Amino acid sequence: MKLKHIFMLLGAVLLGLTACSKDTPNTPDLSKTLAGTEWEATVRESDAGNKSVVTTIVLKFVDGTKFTSQSTQQTIKNGAVVDTEVDDPEQGTYTYQGGVATLLFNTRDDEDNAIKLALPLTMDSSKQQLTGKAPNTAGTILTFVRKK
């Protein structure tokens, strides 16, 4: 009888160990590719009129060279959302080498001239974060956290 219990316990332990060792098949190796992943950054800016603007940027890496991004801006006054703007999705290309993703995209400057910008983002795979300095801003740091 004791032998039967020992084998049942051993079987349960082995099944538990094999179930824990399986990795999710849809989880990409972030040291090699960002394809199929989605990231989100939130930036909060305050102004003197008891208002703040919260911008959320969603970044999706479509494949090994293309990405899309979309931002949403919410104006908050006295704790309540008073306005929400959703920008059109933007597309661009990127490269990913040595833990640095360089995003290349077209935008417009203040005089409405078309310009091409590069945004380098450094991967911290232990924290599942991409971090970089926003172009054309006074030191705003963007920290993208992995969504899926």
Q: What HEC string does 94-139 produce?
A: EEEECCEEEEEEEEECCCCCEEEEEEEEEEECCCCEEEEECCCCCC
Tokens of 13: 């332990």
Looking at mean pLDDT, say which of 9-18, 20-29, 106-115 comes out highest: 106-115
% of residues, the chain, pLDDT over 70: 76
The answer, yes or no, to whether residue 22 has pLDDT greater than 50, is: no
CB 117 within 8 A of CB 104: yes
Tell me if the pTM is above 0.85: no
Whose tokens are 């640095």? That residue is 100
Pick from 65, 57, 5: nearest CA to 35: 65
Asked whether the predicted pLDDT for residue 25 surpasses 80, the reply is no
Q: Decide if pLDDT at 78 tops 90.
A: no
